[in-house]
Amino acid sequence: MLLRYRVGAVVSLAKHQNGGAKTVLWTSKNFRTQSGVPHGHFAGDATFLQAVDFYFDKAAAIASVSPDILAQIKACNNILRVQFPLKCSNGTVELIEAYRAQHSHHRLPVKGGVRMAPNVNGEEIMALAALMTFKCAVVDVPFGGAKGGIKIDPTKYSLNEKEAIMRRYTSELVKKKFIGPAIDVPAPDYGTGPQEMAWIKDTYEHMKSTDINGAACVTGKPLEEGGIHGRHEATGLGVFFCLREFLNDQDLVKKLHMSPGVKGKTFIIQGFGNVGRNLVDCIQRAGGLIMAISEKDGGLVDETGKGLDVSSIKEYHTRKGTLCGFPGANTIRDPAKILELPCDVLIPAALESQVHSENASRIKAQIIAEAANGPVTPSAEAILEKNGAVILPDLLLNAGGVTVSYFEWLKNLNHIHFGRMSRRMEESGKKVLLEALEQEFESKNKLSDDLRKELVKGNTEIDFVWSGLEETMLVSWANVRSTAERKDCNYRTAAYLIAIERIATCYRVNGIFP
C-alpha cells in the first residue's frame, strides 16, 4: 500500500538539546524508519496508520472533492517526538519517549487524548490523530485532530514517577507550543484519566500563569479542577446511544434476522477500562446481557445464560486488579479466545488491530461496535462483511468522549458551569405555571411534594451534558445511516465521507493561507 505524506508546518529534522530533553521535530516522511515496528501489526494486515489511510481512500474515491484538497486533508501536519529523563524512585535515570501528533488544523484548537502504553510509537499516534480529525468532523465538534502518547506501561510506575513524567511531557508541549486552549487540547485516552489531566493543567498554569483560560488547555479533568459532570462516562454512554439506535431500527436489525431492541441481546466486551466499564452499565440497564468480558490477562464468561453480574465484577476488579478468579463466572486465561465466543454484539474497547485477518473468520457476532479506536483491520472488515456482519465504526461510535470534552472546553472558556444562571429561573417559572394550573382546575388531588419537585426541577450541568451528548450522537448516527443508504456503502465509508466533505467545505470557504 502506498502511503503519501506531506511535510507539515514543523519541518526540518532538527535536534535540540534542552535540559536533558532530546527533541526531534519530525517530518512525517522520515517517521516510518525511525519509529520501529508498528504496534498491533499482524502479518497479512495493514498497520493501524495504513488502515486509516485505506479507509480514507475508500471514502475519498466517492467524495466530490478535488485530489489536491484530499491530499491535504489526509496528511498529518505535525508530529513532535520528545525524549526526556525520568529520575526513578530507585535512583536510576530512565529515558522516556513521547509523542504529540497534530493531524489537521482546519479548525482550532486541535484535540485528542494522550495515551500511556508500552507499545506507543509515532505511526500509531499519527493514525490516532487522523481519526480525531475525522471523528470531530463526523459529530460536528469544531476541532482539528491530534493525539499524544507516552511509551510506558503505567502500571509499572509509582504515582510520583507518573506525575513527574506527565509534568515533564506537558512542559515539553508548552515549550514547543503544542498545548494551549487555542492551540492543542489533550484529554484522557488509554492508560490515562482525570489525575493525569490535573497534572497537565497544573503544569500548564504554572508555566503560563497569565493565561486566564488556562483551565481549557486540557479536558477530562477532575470536577474540582474545572472538569465537567459526565466526561468520565461520556465515551461509553455515546457508544450506547448509537448502538441502541441501531438495535431499535426495525429495518436494520431485520436484515440481521434479529428482533429490535437492546433487551435480551447478548454482548461481549473486550477491555474493562474507562470505556468498557461505563458501557456495561448502560447495556445492563437497558436489559442487555453481558455474556463475557475480557482484560489483558484473561476474562470472564457467563455460565448461567442470564448474563454476568457486572456490579460484583466491578467491585472484584477494583479490589484485585484482575477479572481472573471471580467466583461467579468461568475464567478464561486467553483473552483473544473471548472475542470468538457466540454473541449478538462484540464490543472491542481496548486497543487497535484486535480483529485481524487471522481471527476475523472465527468471530460469531453479527454486530461489531468499535468502542476502541481502530480495532478492526481492513482485511478483517472484508471477512466480517462477507460473512454478513455489520460494523459500527470508531469515528462515529466513540465520539461521545470528545463531544463532552468540547462541552468542558466551552465551560472553561465561559468560566461558569452550565445551568448556573438558568436553573432557579426555570424552577420558579415552572412553579408559577403549576400553581396557575392547580388554581384553574381547582384540583382536589393536589400534586405530591415529590412529584411537584420533579416537575419543577431546573436543568443542572449533567442534564445539559446528557442532552447535548444524546443529541450529537443521534443526529450524527442518522446522518451516517442515511449517507450509507444514499451512497450504498458501509457505515465506516459513510462516516469518512461526511468528515471529508465537511473538512473540504472548510478549506473551500476559508481559503488557504497565505
Ligand X SMILES: O=C(O)CCC(=O)C(=O)O
Q: Which of residues 206-245 bind ligand X (CB under 6 A)?
A: 219-220
Q: Which of residues 381-410 bind ligand NAI (CB under 6 A)?
A: 398, 401
Q: Which option in ligand X, ligand NAI, none does residue 219 bind, with CB closer than 5 to 8 A by kind?
A: ligand X
CB of 335 to ligand NAI, least distance (A): 4
> 188 or 288, CB closer to ligand X?
188
**Beta partners for 81?**
24, 99
Please indicate whether residue 156 is annotated as part of the active site.
no
Q: Do 446 and 434 form a contact (C-beta atoms < 8 A)?
A: no
Q: Which of residues 113-152 bind ligand X (CB under 6 A)?
A: 113, 132, 135
Q: Do 101 and 132 form a contact (C-beta atoms < 8 A)?
A: no
Q: Do 378 and 55 form a contact (C-beta atoms < 8 A)?
A: yes
Q: What separation in angstroms does the CA of 412 have from each of 58, 260, 461?
A: 38, 41, 13
* Amino acid present at 48: F
> 348 or 401, CB closer to ligand X?
401
Site string for ligand NAI, 485-514 (x = CB under 6 A): ------------------------------
Q: 435: which 3 cell numbers?
A: 400553581
Q: Which of 213, 181, 211, 217 is nearest to 199 (CA)?
A: 217
Total Cβ atoms within 10 A of residue 358: 16
Among 56, 190, 267, 326, binds ligand NAI (CB under 6 A): 190
Q: Do 97 and 81 form a contact (C-beta atoms < 8 A)?
A: yes
# of chain residues touching ligand X (CB under 6 A): 14
> 47 or 294, CB closer to ligand NAI?
294
Site string for ligand NAI, 274-303 (x = CB under 6 A): xxx-----------------xxx-------
Does residue 184 interact with ligand X by CB under 6 A?
A: no
Q: Choose the catalytic residue: 135, 147, 221, 411.
A: 147
Distance CA 511, CA 513 (A): 7
CB of 397 to ligand NAI, least distance (A): 9
CB of 349 to ligand NAI, least distance (A): 5
Does residue 102 interact with ligand X by CB under 6 A?
A: no
DSSP state string for 221-282:
--GGGT--TTHHHHHHHHHHHHHHHHHH-HHHHHHTT--SSSTT-EEEEE--SHHHHHHHHH
Distance CA 8, CA 61 (A): 24
Q: Do 233 and 223 form a contact (C-beta atoms < 8 A)?
A: no
Does residue 461 interact with ligand X by CB under 6 A?
A: no
Among 402, 469, 473, 495, binds ligand X (CB under 6 A): 402
3-class SS at 148?
strand
Distance CA 256, CA 365 (A): 11
Does residue 187 interact with ligand X by CB under 6 A?
A: yes
Q: 235: which 3 cell numbers?
A: 465515551
3-class SS at 473?
helix
CB of 239 to ligand X, least distance (A): 11
* Crossing angle of the two packed helices 231-248 and 274-285, in degrees rounded to 10: 50
> 176 or 492, CB closer to ligand NAI?
492
Does residue 272 interact with ligand NAI by CB under 6 A?
A: yes
> 198 or 351, CB closer to ligand NAI?
351
Does residue 366 interact with ligand NAI by CB under 6 A?
A: no
Site string for ligand X, 361-390 (x = CB under 6 A): ------------x-----------------
> 148 or 276, CB closer to ligand NAI?
276
Does residue 405 interact with ligand X by CB under 6 A?
A: yes
Distance CA 184, CA 100 (A): 10
| CA quadruple 175, 114, 44, 371: dihedral, nearest 10 | -150
Q: Which of 472, 371, 380, 466 is nearest to 418 (CA)?
A: 466
- Cα-atom radius of gyration of the chain, to the nearest Å? 24
Does residue 227 interact with ligand NAI by CB under 6 A?
A: no
Q: Which option in ligand X, ligand NAI, none does residue 111 bind, with CB closer than 5 to 8 A by kind?
A: ligand X
For ligand NAI, which stretch binds (CB under 6 A), given 13-21, 272-280, 301-309, 490-498?
A: 272-280
Give catalytic residues, as residue numbers: 147
Contact footprint for ligand NAI (CB under 6 A): 188-191, 235, 270-276, 294-296, 335, 349-351, 371-373, 398, 401
Contact footprint for ligand X (CB under 6 A): 111-113, 132, 135, 187, 189, 219-220, 373, 398, 401-402, 405
